[in-house]
Amino acid sequence: MRLPPERFPGESGLPLSLNTATIKRATLAEAARLAAEHGIEGIGPWRDVVEAAGGAKAARALLDGYGLTVTSLCRGGFFTDADPGARAGALADNRRAIEEAAILGTRELVLVAGGVPAGSKDLRSAREAVSAALEELVPHARRWGVRLAIEPLHPMFCADRAVVSTLGQALDLAAPFEAADVGVVVDTYHVWWDPGLFPQIERAGREGRISAYQVCDWLVPLPADTLLGRGHVGDGRIGFAPITTAVTGAGYTGYVEVEIFNQEIWDADPAATVATVVERYRRYIG
């Protein structure tokens, strides 16, 4: 495991990483340049920008040129389709994602579980399908030195996006596997409301399973598309200090990845967005 860089250590001691979804319309080259210009040493790319940059090898070369550490790859998952063909397709795609993560030089492949399939009302089966998919993917991930990082999504996405809804549930799903093979993502937007959050962060740390710490804020009111209700750190109702303290207290020493889905931020100048990301990181996290 690489040591975290020394820049922006701040109070939490956690270095900053820029998730490319935050500046969605930037290419990987632009994102890398902006990160480097702002002294950010970590980057969390999405697969689509990696592909647009010529694939994982080309992307790795590009990011190495800026001295950037790849902190995670977003994303694999979507395991809950009951149709056997769709399921096989999803597993094949996840195997490719594992290989891409390895080539990019990150251990952490972020997984979004998938929702309750259209036409189904069977949440339990959808959740069982996630366990089964992990079972199938772990050997391939291990071979490539990649960890499957289960991201619990906010329960409002349970029906259509991710049947993994809490950190505790993600840890229960991870439990049958080695901590080196299956981890969990702590994303403030998805978990901040959870009355069981702090003991589960402590547990995640104790089990050595915190793959990534992602941050953005919860805006009020939510916009029409709830997927885009995320704001810059500090613009919403989330108290970051207690969550960051819990994450570092649990022994996490990786990066803080800023991942924001928000149409207004996507429409803004990416350079201005990155400047705000750094400023908010310094004020609320660092």
Taking the complex as a whole, the smallest distance from the CB of residue 122 to its own copies amounts, in Å, to: 6
Whether the Cβ atoms of residue 260 and residue 232 lie closer than 8 Å to each other: yes
Residues between 203 and 232 with contacts to its own copies, criterion CB under 8 A: 218, 220-222, 224-226
Considering only residues 151, 181, 187, 194, which one is a binding residue for its own copies as defined by CB under 8 A?
Answer: 194
DSSP run (H or E) holding 154: none
Q: How many CB atoms lie under 10 A from the CB of residue 4?
A: 20
Position 158 contacts its own copies (CB under 8 A): yes
Whether a cis peptide bond, with omega within 30° of 0, leads into 155 is no
Query: How many chain residues bind its own copies (CB under 8 A)?
Result: 39
**Of 76 and 229, which has the nearer Cβ to its own copies?**
229
Instruction: Rule CB under 8 A: choose which of 17, 165, 188, 248 binds its own copies.
Output: 165
Q: Are 253 and 212 in contact (CB under 8 A)?
A: no
| Tokens read off for 143 | 């071979």
DSSP conformation letters of 233-258: TTSSS--HHHHHHHHHHTT--S-EEE
- Which of these, 134, 226, 233, lies nearest to 174 by C-alpha position? 134
Q: Among 193, 208, 253, 282, indicate the residue that binds its own copies (CB under 8 A).
A: 193
Q: Which of residues 129-148 bind its own copies (CB under 8 A)?
A: none
Report helix, strand or coil for 12. coil
Asked if residue 91 binds its own copies (CB under 8 A), the reply is no
CA distance 89 to 191: 30
Q: CB under 8 A: which stretch of 15-23, 102-110, 190-198, 245-253 binds its own copies?
A: 190-198
Please give the Cα distance from 64 to 127 (Å, whole number): 38
- Binding of its own copies at residue 239 (CB under 8 A)? yes
- C-beta neighbour count of 241 within 10 angstroms: 12
**Contact stretch for its own copies (CB under 8 A) within 69-77, 116-124, 138-146, 207-215:** 116-124
20 lies in the site for its own copies, by CB under 8 A: no
Q: List the one residue from 206, 237, 282, 283 that touches its own copies (CB under 8 A).
A: 237
User: 240 — alpha (psi -120 to 50), left (phi > 0) or beta?
Assistant: alpha
From residue 35 to residue 54, the character string flagging contacts with its own copies as x (rule: CB under 8 A) and all else as - is: --------------------
| Separation CA 284–CA 271 (nearest Å) | 20
Give yes or no for residue 160 binding its own copies (CB under 8 A): yes
User: What is the closest distance, in whole angstroms, from the C-beta atom of residue 239 to its own copies in the complex?
Assistant: 4
Site of interaction with its own copies (CB under 8 A): 115-116, 118, 120-124, 127, 154-156, 158-160, 163, 165-166, 168-169, 172, 192-196, 218, 220-222, 224-226, 236-240, 242
